Structures are given as structure tokens and as C-alpha cells.
Structure 1
Amino acid sequence: MKEILKQKASKIKLLITDCDGVLTDAGVYYGQDGEYLKKFNIRDGMGVERLRKLAGVETAIITGEKSPSVITRAQKLQITEVHLFVKDKPQVLKEIIARLQLEKEEIAYIGDDYNDLEVMKLVRLTASPADALPAIKNTVDYVCQAKGGEGCYREFAELIIDAKNDTVAALPIKSGVITLSNGRKIGPGQPSYIIAEIGINHNGSLETAKQLIDEAVTAKADAVKFQKRTPEICVPRDQWEIMRDTPWGRMSYIDYKRKTEFGIAEYATIDQYCKKVGIDWFVSAWDAPSVDFMEQFDTILYKLASASLTDFELIERILETGRPLMLSSGMSTMKEIENALRFVNDFDPNYPVFLAHSTSAYPCKPEELNLRMINTLANKFPGIPIGYSGHETGLATTVAAVALGATFVERHFTLDRAMWGSDHAASVEPQGFQRLVRDIRDIETAAGDGIKQVYESELAPMKRLRVNIGEEYKTKPLV
């Protein structure tokens, strides 16, 4: 594939196709009742599904046809952007671009006739079947070897899939282990880095925050994490004056959010207190001014909440600090994860970045935890330490995440799950967190090195129970 064609194809988010002459063979067929039918190629249908599954690219149909078979075929393939009996294709395309907030570079189009020429001028990447009109074939970026209705759409779809997979594979393979500024290593082969997320569970009380830090130290957690927001940026303007019942009385939502935010005095105290008791601390920064604020302190890293994975302005501000970045992937598609990691890679191929699997439900049902994603992410992004940010109510699944390879884990932490606030119900209480850390360390110890050996503790049962004992063990004394 030519490099410029690959670059264009790697950016595509939507593939738009004409119908007659592309998805069909341009023949005219009628049913027994005289209805206007179309003959589709089954390989093209598989192309739609593969493009969605493997590249995160959806398909749209814009056609001048008005056949019921087109509607039926689109429904079967779960194509929701279907525009029939279109007289002005460019206008329909402009409407799609505006509604889906797409750029020209993110759209591809495959057509075969003169009425496709104007719409092709509005997109980045174009293609045609092998039997398209000469003027079309001379205009497009790619001419398929297959004819219309004989797999040309599938051929073009595979080109886009290959380009996107090549782009992801081009991300540099990192070392796999990241060393923090205090010397602590996080990655495969290292003890899991266990984070007690205090978040906003302090409910605006510095004393509660200090109690939570003390309990995290007692539990032998590696770090505590808070959240830092600028309420005027993070709270939508239309929600500011909504009245809420709070522990401080009834107040507007914006005032409530201000009440729960710590300022310079509180974080200065937290900074000193964590240093005193010997535990790492950092924050999830939700906006660029919050990053500027936190740069007053020498925190160990920055966390990016799942909700911020597509906020590239915020990501860039964090990257400018040079501190390690921990991304969380809840409420995100694989494509959005790839885009975030590619953004980091474009900034600095060697930037220290972590990735946490997460499902953003509070609390999260076991059937939605999808812990096998830990292995999926590790295989897809080799060299990037993969972890787990959990919002479930139990402990066993977080321990299982470590058994599956999570190099760090994060759970919300509270003094009492019955306390007022949005995150307490999906949080772990102090005694539970102690058990969590204990069980994770037991799992790590029990994992061993994978090399089969006979332990000294097995010699007595061997001599008592085994019929034929190896010569090397017959004279070996019991311990």
C-alpha cells in the first residue's frame, strides 16, 4: 500500500458508500409482487462487520435508490446511517458531517457514477469499483480490483483495516516497567502498585482526608489519590443553580462542588502529611487549570479519569509537566484508547504512560467488569503497564485482576460506605482494604516463578506415599 494512501486510510472514522453499482451489481430485479429488489454480495456484508469490529469504523449508505431490499440489508448489518432516494448527495453528506462532528480527513467514500463526483470532493479518501465509469476511476485515490456487487466494498474496507492496524502496530514497544521519581517500579514482574482512591470521599473535610490517609497506610497501600477540579469549568453552566440537599444544607450544585474542593492550604497539608507517614499521593486532574494548580506540589504522577480520555487539551497539559501519566479507559471504545495513546506517542515516543482497564459504573455489576480486557490491552499495547481501576463492591474481582496481570490496581476508599456522597457506595472500607492488600500480596507470592521443583516440605509425604522414589531423594534428609 502506498504510504500516502495508508496515511489517509488510517484516519478514517466513517466509510460512506453508494449502493447501486457498489454494494450491488447494478442489475434490476423484481419480486413476484413487482417490488424493486437488489442483489447484494455476502462478502461486502462481512466487510461492514469487520470494519466495525477491527477498525472502529462505521458504514453509511447514500443512494438515489429506494428499494426495500436496501433497507432490509442495512438493518441486518446494523447500518444506521441510511439515506435513500437522495437527489443531492453533497447536501446529505454535509448534514452527516455536521451532525457527527467529523472532519473531511475522517471520511471515505466509494462510488461508481457521475453523481458521485461532487460528493467525493468533500471527503479525504475515495475509491471506486473496477467497473466504475472512466471519469470516476481517473478521479479516485483507489480503484478496486473487484467489480460492483462482487466484493469491491470488502476490498476497500480491508484496505482501511490494514492501514489502521499498521498504524497501531507502529506505536513503539516500551520497556514495560516505569520507574517513579522515588525509585518505585511499576510493571510486569514488580509487586502490584495498590492505590487507595480517596477522590472526593473526604467530603470537604481535611480531618477526614487525614484519617483516610492513616487507614491507607495501615492497610499498606502504596498510594492515595485525590481528585482536583475547577468547578466553574467541569460543571455545565445549566447545572449551576440546580438546588441540592447536602451535609451543609440545601445549596446550588455549583456551591456544593466548590465546597468539596480542596485548595492550596488543604493540599499543602496533605503533601506534608503523606511525606510524614510515608505514602505516595497524586490526583486525577479534570482540567488544565487544575494541572497548573497541582504543579505547586511534587506528586508522583497524574491520573486521567475515564471521562477525560478524549480531552486532548488536558492530556497535552499533563504531558508538558513530564510526570508519568496513568490513563483510565472506562466508557471508552478501543479506538478512543488508541487515539489517546497515539497522542501521547506523538508528543514523546518514550513518555512514561500507564493504562488502566475500567468500567465506569458505580457500583459495577460483575458481568460488566470484563477482566479479560487486562490481557487484551497487554497484548495490544506491549510494553505499556496495564492495570485495573475497579468500581465493584467486592474484593475478589480486584484480586483476580492482579492474578490476570494487572500491574497496578485502584479502588475507591472510604471510612464508611454509608457516608453521604456519590462514590461511597462503590468504595472499600478500611478493614476491607487491609484484606485486599493482604490477598493481593498472597497472590503475588503464590504465583511463584513457573519453574517446577520439589520443595523440602514435600519430601516427607514423598517418602511416605510414593512407590518409586528417585535416587536423588532416597538419601536426602528430611527438614
Structure 2
Amino acid sequence: MQRTFIIAEAGVNHNGSVENAIKLIDVASESGADAVKFQTFSADALVSKNSPKAAYQKLTTEAEETQFEMLKKLELSEDSHQKLIDHAGRKGIEFLSTPFDLQSLFLLNKKFNIKKIKIPSGEITNAPFLVEIARCADEIILSTGMSTLAEVEAALGVIAFGFIGKINTRPSSKAFAEAYSSQEGQEQLRSRLILLHATTEYPAPPDEINLNAMDTMSAAFGLRVGYSDHSQGVHIPVAAVAKGASVIEKHFTLDRSLPGPDHKASLEPTELKLMVQLIRDVEKAMGDGIKRPTPSEWKNREVARKSLVATDNIGKGEIFTEKNLSCKRPGSGISPIQYWDYIGQKANADYPIDGPIT
């Protein structure tokens, strides 16, 4: 089985503190995750001043403040990004961040040379943004929460256009469809894009997770598929790996009791480490699919299996019958699979009770 790329999603769980963000990088590195991911945005470019917050955000932040006011406190400066990128490098973990606006995209891609871009579910219909991401990213991870299959396909058309279209070609529905239908467009999508199934609710209820949608998208688009998890606990992402998820993304925090929009649906440090360990165990357990005894099983076959033995004293030339022939451990002799081949045959030697037939 391929190695699952595990993204420890710090998001905005730093609460606007660079010191907390550095601690989150330490936790992600110690957990064994492949990447730690933050969120890069300008509240002014992302949200209207009076935009309301989601219901779950109202429960975990100041109920009276607007979404703009909440996000403004969670922005990371350019200088903060540099500190975090440098620290991640020292800790040996890949730094990623999700951009939510063009200014943030160019900061990550042009200024800091971040070539792997994660697109959040809320931007999947933002065609102008998708085109710009596709034009500058080497690899795209696209979350599909809240989307229909048709909306995912439409986004893939836009991204395919961004991958292969010329800068002076005017974007249009026709151009998107042509790019998506082209051999080059499909090749670029297969080599440079991973879809993430997601349920955009915090926390996501188990009966709305629908992991089988991963199979649906894989069959529909022929692309690599992973899973961005917002459920409580570690068991759902582990199950997604068993279903073939190539990427797992999971929110984590220093402390679930901290104030902020995403802490309550996040893993604490010990839980993140456990999730990574369980995923690595599942990867090993999937194996190659060939049914055969494993190296450790060979020593147990003789102990657990049976052989043909005499259940009565049998003299040489005596006929083997169902009364004097049986099957008992150990399995070092003739296999019971040959039981009926011996019934009715003459014994070739003397056999005492419990003596193995040879």
C-alpha cells in the first residue's frame, strides 16, 4: 500500500499567536505527520464586514462578533509566516498553508515558494481563484466538502484550464470543458491533483461522513482521493486509510478547551500522535493482497494443524478404517486432507495408539 500523506491541520488554532503556532509545529513534527498546515488570509479580502459566523463558530467564539472580527484576530503576518516556515524546516516537517484570497496565494507561492497548494471546500466554486492557483501551483489538494459530484467536475474543468491554458486565453465554460476533455488536461489532473472528500461540519456527525463517496469520486474522475476529517476522535480517518485514502488531513490543537472556532473539533497532541501511529499500522496491515502464510505463521502451522494418527494399535497390513484412523495435533505428519485416500488401504508399518501415520 502507498504511504498516506498525513497533514496535521493547525489552521487558526494558534489564536493569532506566533508562539502558539511554533508549539503547534513542534507537536505536528513529534506526531510523525508529513506536513503541518496553517491558513493564510486577509480578513479584508476574504469576508464582508457584516458576514455572520457559522453556527458552530458562534458556540466557540464571542457570539456578538462578526465573522470579519473573528478572522481579523487570527491573521498571520508575512513576518510570522517566515518564522513558521523556518521553524518547520528546522523540525523536518513540510510547511503548508491554505490561501483564501489572491494576495495570500501570491504570498505563499511567489514570496515563500510554496508549490503545493491546498484549496478549501468553500473555494471550490471560486473559478477566478481556482484558475490562478492552477497557474502557479505544482500540486493541488482540493477539498470537496458541501459539493455535488457535478460541482467537483466543474472545478476540475477550471483547474485543468489553469494547468494547460495559455495566459492570454480567455476563461469560459467552453474553454473549461475543452481543457477537462483533453488528453493533456486529464494527464495534468492525474499527476498534479488530489481530491479530498470532506463533510464540512464541526464536528461532523458519523452518519454524515459517507466515506463511500471516496470510491464514487475515484471511479468518476480516475484521480487520487483522500479525506479531510472533521469528526471527533481518530477512528474515521483510520478507516479512510483502509479504504485507500492517499491523503489524510486532520485538525489538531494544543488544548481543546482554548477559545476559538476550531479547537473543539480538533485532536490534542497525544491523540494526533495516536492517529499517525494507527494509520501507519493500517498501511502495513493492508499488505500486497496475496493469500499465503506469512513468515511468522510458518512456525505455528505444525502446532495448530493436525496430522493422520492411529486411534488404535494398527498392525502392518491391517486396513485403515474410520475407527482406527483420526486427525490430531501436531501437524508435522500427513495432512488430514488425505484422510479418505488412506481409508481402505493397508498399513505399511505397525502403528501404536497416537502414532503418526507415515
Instruction: Give the CA deviation at 1:246.
Output: 10
Query: Equivalent residue for 1:385?
Result: 224
Give the aligned partner of residue 192 of structure 1. 4
Shift in Å, 1:224: 0.7
Give the corresponding residue for 1:273: 87
Question: How far apart in 1 are the matches of 2:279 and 2:59?
Answer: 39
Aligned pairs for 1:414-429 (under 5 A) are: 414-429=253-268
Q: Which amino acid aligns with 1:219?
A: S
8 Å contact kept, 2:41–2:104: yes
Aligned positions of 1:28-427 closer than 5 A: 189-239=1-51, 254-295=68-109, 296-347=111-162, 348=164, 349=185, 350-351=188-189, 352-382=192-222, 384-427=223-266
The 1:234–1:458 alpha-carbon spacing in structure 2 relative to 1, beyond 3 Å, is same
Q: Deviations over 1:334-359 (max 9, x none)?
A: 11001011222233311511100001
Distance, in Å, in 2 between the alignment partners of 1:294 and 1:356 is: 21
Inter-CA distance 471–209: structure 2 relative to 1 (3 Å threshold): same
Give % identity: 35
1:466 to 305, 308, 322: 305
Name the SS of the counterpart of 2:248 in structure 1: strand
What are the Cα deviations for residues 83-127 of structure 1, in whole angstroms up to 9, with x where unaligned?
Answer: xxxxxxxxxxxxxxxxxxxxxxxxxxxxxxxxxxxxxxxxxxxxx
Deviates more, 1:229-238 or 1:425-434: 229-238
Partners of 1:239 and 1:253 within 8 A in 2? yes
Q: Flag the structure with more relative contact order, 1 or 2, with Cα contacts below 8 A and sequence separation at least 6.
A: 2
Q: How many angstroms apart in 1 are the aligned matches of 2:99 and 2:209?
A: 24
Contact 2:229 2:237 (C-alpha < 8 Å) held by counterparts: yes
State the distance in 1 between where 2:255 and 2:45 align: 30
TM-score in terms of structure 1 length: 0.55
Question: Is contact 1:229–1:287 with CA below 8 Å preserved after alignment?
Answer: yes
TM-superposed deviation, 1:471: 8.7
The equivalent of 2:342 in structure 1 is: none
| CA-CA distance at 1:472 after TM superposition | 12
- 1:365-386 Cα shifts (integer Å, max 9, x gaps): 000000111111111121x210
Change in CA separation of 1:388 and 1:464 when aligned onto 2, cut-off 3 Å: same
Q: What secondary structure does 1:238 align onto?
A: coil
* Cα distance in structure 2, aligned partners of 1:202 and 1:345: 34
Question: Could you say if the C-alpha distance between residues 359 and 263 of structure 1 is closer, same or farther in structure 2, counting changes exceeding 3 Å?
Answer: same
Segments of structure 2 that go 5 or more residues without pairing to the other structure are 53-57, 165-184, 308-330, 336-358
Structure 1 residues 365 and 456: alpha-carbon distance in aligned structure 2, compared to 1, 3 A threshold: same
Distance in 1 of aligned mates of 2:298 and 2:99? 56
**Aligned partner of residue 225 in structure 1, secondary structure:** strand
Once the 2 structures are TM-superposed, how far is the Cα of residue 278 of structure 1 from its aligned partner? 0.7
Cα distance between partner residues in 1 of 2:34 and 2:257? 25
Paired residues, number: 281
| CA spacing shift, 1:360–1:466, aligned 2, 3 Å | same
**d(CA) in 2 for partners of 1:230, 1:274:** 22
**Secondary structure of 2:292's partner?**
coil
Distance across 2 between alignment mates of 1:261 and 1:378:
35
Question: Do structure 1's residue 450 and structure 2's residue 262 form an aligned pair?
Answer: no
Structure 1 residue ranges (4+ consecutive) displaced by more than 6 angstroms after TM superposition: 244-248, 470-473
- Using a 3 Å threshold, how does the CA distance of structure 1 residues 412 and 465 change in structure 2: closer, same or farther? closer
SS at match of 2:14: coil
Residue 277 of structure 1 aligns with an amino acid whose one-letter code is K
Q: Which runs of 5 or more residues in structure 1 are unaligned?
A: 1-188, 474-479
Q: Residues 202 and 467 from structure 1, CA distance in 2 versus in 1: closer, same or farther, beyond 3 angstroms?
A: same
